[in-house]
Amino acid sequence: MNIWITIIIAGLLTFATRLSFIFLLDRIKVPDWFRRGLRFVPVAVLSAIILPDLTSPNGTLFLSWRNPQLLAGIVAILVAWRTRNVLLTILAGMAALVVFQVVLGM
């Protein structure tokens, strides 16, 4: 397959996936549990992105107090919980990561 055709079809597939329910939800009747489940989408998807990023920073599971990403992530969770502030959470998490990397020598 020509690279350009591949790129265009890949773009259309991605776009169709993103449009799917935005287009369909007006036109089909969805069951009640489906609507109630929607409020869990952001916390579930983002948690499923966050945790592996902390515990497997290089692609393999590294559950250890010597894992600087995991420690910095815990710091960020505490800061986010206490302050509810995005910038502070990022700054604290990055600072913690750099400190832990230096301290742990990684």
Partner 1 sequence: MIAKMRKHEFWSGVRDEAPILLGVVPFGLLFGTLAISSHLSSLAAQAMSSIIFAGSAQLIAAQLVGTGASGLVILMVVFVINLRHALYSASVAPHIRHLGTGWKLLLSYLLTDEAYAVTITHYNREGDSPERHWYFLGAGFTLWSAWQASTAVGIFIGAQIPASWPLSFVLPLTFIALVVPALQDRAGVAASVVAGLIGLLAVNFPYKTGLLAAALIGIVTGLLIEGRQK
DSSP label at residue 28: S
How far is Cα 44 from Cα 54, in angstroms, rounded to an integer?
16
Name residues whose C-beta falls within 8 Å of residue 85's C-beta, 6 or more positions apart in sequence.
Answer: 79
How far is Cα 53 from Cα 76, in angstroms, rounded to an integer?
13
Query: Is 8 an interacting residue with respect to partner 1 (CB under 8 A)?
Result: yes
Nearer residue to partner 1 within complex by CB, 10 or 103: 10
Binding flags for partner 1, 24-63, as an x/- string (CB under 8 A): xxx------xxxxxxxxxxxxxxxxxxxxxxxx--xxx--
Query: Is 72 an interacting residue with respect to partner 1 (CB under 8 A)?
Result: yes
The stretches of the chain forming alpha helices (DSSP H) are: 3-24, 32-37, 41-55, 68-83, 86-104
CB of 96 vs partner 1, minimal distance in Å: 10
Number of residues lying near partner 1 (CB under 8 A):
69
Residues that bind partner 1 (CB under 8 A): 1-11, 13-15, 17-26, 33-56, 59-61, 69, 72-73, 76-77, 80-81, 84-87, 89-90, 93-94, 97-98, 101
